[in-house]
Structure 1
């Protein structure tokens, strides 16, 4: 799959119990899982196809090339993670800072569940951005902007609740949060424990709390 500039022959849809849309979605989900663990630039598609029993020739029935597949994978992960953020950050049963803490706890459980091998797809791809197509870079940037907006709104709520100072720049704080968060996720993958995430979240909340 490294010869992405060569126009491949179009294969037939894979024969399985799934219809075309289900097979395409299965490929995207397989891509999310594989790229989160192994990265994008150096990965081929063979293992992704094997996971969902799709012949290699059929891949091009669903995606024009690896770049288009990567765009679909990033979009899928972005939607998934946005729902996770909304679940926690829009939960009216909790204070704003508790919502952030609950999001972190949820993410920690996911890290441990996969033995610290996966982490965050968007953060992983950010680290190899110089090797990615421009369309991927723009998608990653848009995703981070969306996540930053969600945390900004949560921090603004914390100001309304008077749990953080009204003088704080919530947009800048949200940007700082994601820079620190992705670093903590990467360090947790390296150390294979949750201490980096705990350290970051504890210090972040301590620094902004009144």
Structure 2
């Protein structure tokens, strides 16, 4: 008669649950993206990622050769996810182009609000560290930003139908660049203030100006323009010797 009882476990800690390599890698990437959207690359240590996931350092380096290699994967993963969000909003051909772009703004705003405005744009965060990041990161960040600009440009060009002229193409490209420069600044300010006022203010003025330049109706951004309390003018100290 064969013994079918389970093998006896020796003394010591119970074995850890085995993880498939893809599962371990996915957990590390998700945790890394979350940390980088809050802290940036230079302030995020490998140990921070390990503490957030419970994964061992050996398993980390089995998936990634270095922190730099890990960082590149995080940038690419974030960009892929963000590209899908942009494409979902801008690809809705049932809506006018500016309305689609405004829907992206609302979607991104809602995403920041879900995390109490603690998380920003990973690409924008890394832009503030560009002087201390590997050069390969800078090339990758520029390529991603250019891709976002092309998406918005292509969307805005639909205002003119299938045959926009050179001037119209140039205007849409400039508006797309202007949008992303302003949007990334608004995201940073929203994180500093822990609220949506900067995002709403940017949206109000950008869409009004873009509609005027494109010759279309401006979509209603919703809400009201957040009040801005003017700072008192700085007191200028005069030099007594200057008379």
TM-score for both structures, normalised by structure 1: 0.87
Aligned counterparts, 1:156-195, within 5 A:
156-160=157-161, 166=168, 169-195=171-197
* Secondary structure, aligned partner of 1:169: helix
Tell me which residue corresponds to 2:94: 93
* Pairwise CA distance, 1:129: 0.8
Tell me which residue corresponds to 2:83: 82
Q: Quick one: structure 1 residues 192 and 201, their matched pair in 2 at CA, closer, same or farther if it must change by over 3 Å?
A: same
Q: Separation in 2 of the partners of 1:199 and 1:153? A: 25
* Pairwise CA distance, 1:192: 1.3
Q: Separation in 1 of the partners of 2:194 and 2:85? A: 23
How many residues are treated as equivalent by the alignment?
193
Q: Separation in 2 of the partners of 1:186 and 1:199? A: 13
Q: Which has the higher contact order (CA 8 A, sep 6+)?
A: 1
Moved over 6 A (4+): none
Q: Separation in 2 of the partners of 1:17 and 1:148? A: 43
Q: Separation in 2 of the partners of 1:200 and 1:160? A: 27
Q: Does 1:207 align with 2:209?
A: yes
Contact 2:157 2:169 in 1 (8 A): no
Tell me which residue corresponds to 2:30: 29
Q: Separation in 1 of the partners of 2:36 and 2:185? A: 18
Long gaps (5+) in structure 2: 1-15, 216-243
Aligned counterparts, 1:16-165, within 5 A:
16-160=17-161
* Pairwise CA distance, 1:150: 0.2
Tell me which residue corresponds to 1:5: none
Contact 2:117 2:190 in 1 (8 A): yes
Greater share of residues in helix: 1
Long gaps (5+) in structure 1: 1-14
Tell me which residue corresponds to 2:238: none
After superposition, the CA RMSD in angstroms is: 1.7
